[in-house]
Structure 1
């Protein structure tokens, strides 16, 4: 093993996966709180509440999906890709359902600002994805495990 390679033990990878999840969640929370403060000063309490609700949606939905994929990758690595794709589809569907429910209720007209809610969801998702990629790259978490030399033909 070279000094630039990370050790290949499942426990280290899972711990790194949790730290990546927490780092991505922290990044999205910081952005959401900043958006909420800016929204409160520029557009009032509806904007602040919209940004907070958008941030909670992003952290809750993306956090749960990432956690599930991390757990499955640790238990049954061969199912990780299928579970990742399934959770992605479910995250998109769940986010759409939440927006449909919010649009059907009067919350978006009276309590929450649509623009700040959407901005927090879009910005939070973008910062989540960027920070997740950066943290996984810095921690050298492999996307897949290479086969051992004994299994090669």
Structure 2
């Protein structure tokens, strides 16, 4: 692999690890500050956040490798699906009664928001510092 080639899956993995690390930090903080319901809420929020973002990022990455022309359309459809999936997760948690008894709503929401911000920040950092070639030279398979 050349230094100009990028590995999107590695960037997604780094973003997932960073969001997971921040989420687990919130689980520990919630457990110390507010008890087990806060820790469980932060844990579920971290799982939802990392799961939804990882699913979308890996799916868009796979489609962009197979059909680059369809990647923008698929990214928009995936984003819509992620929003619906997040809403369904909240509805399911609300109807199950877990948000009233076993999980702290505030810590769950905070973990999702923190996971989203960390994920986006890592993705932006890795995307803006990636070395992506603007053109192919003659020795790389271009016209001679």
Question: Shared topology, TM-score over 0.5?
Answer: yes
Match of 1:108 in 2: 99
Match of 2:26 in 1: 35
Residues 1-150 of structure 1: pairs in structure 2 closer than 5 A: 7=4, 12-13=5-6, 16-141=7-132
TM-score w.r.t. length of structure 1:
0.83
Deviation at 1:44, TM superposition (A): 0.3
SS of aligned partner of 2:103? coil
What is the rounded CA distance, in whole Å, between the counterparts of 2:50 and 2:60 in structure 1? 15
SS of aligned partner of 1:112? coil
**For structure 1, which runs of at least 5 residues remain unmatched after alignment?**
1-5
What is the rounded CA distance, in whole Å, between the counterparts of 2:40 and 2:132 in structure 1? 36
What is the rounded CA distance, in whole Å, between the counterparts of 2:55 and 2:34 in structure 1? 31
**For structure 2, which runs of at least 5 residues remain unmatched after alignment?**
none
CA-atom RMSD in angstroms: 2.2
What is the rounded CA distance, in whole Å, between the counterparts of 1:51 and 1:109 in structure 2? 14
Length, aligned pairs only: 139
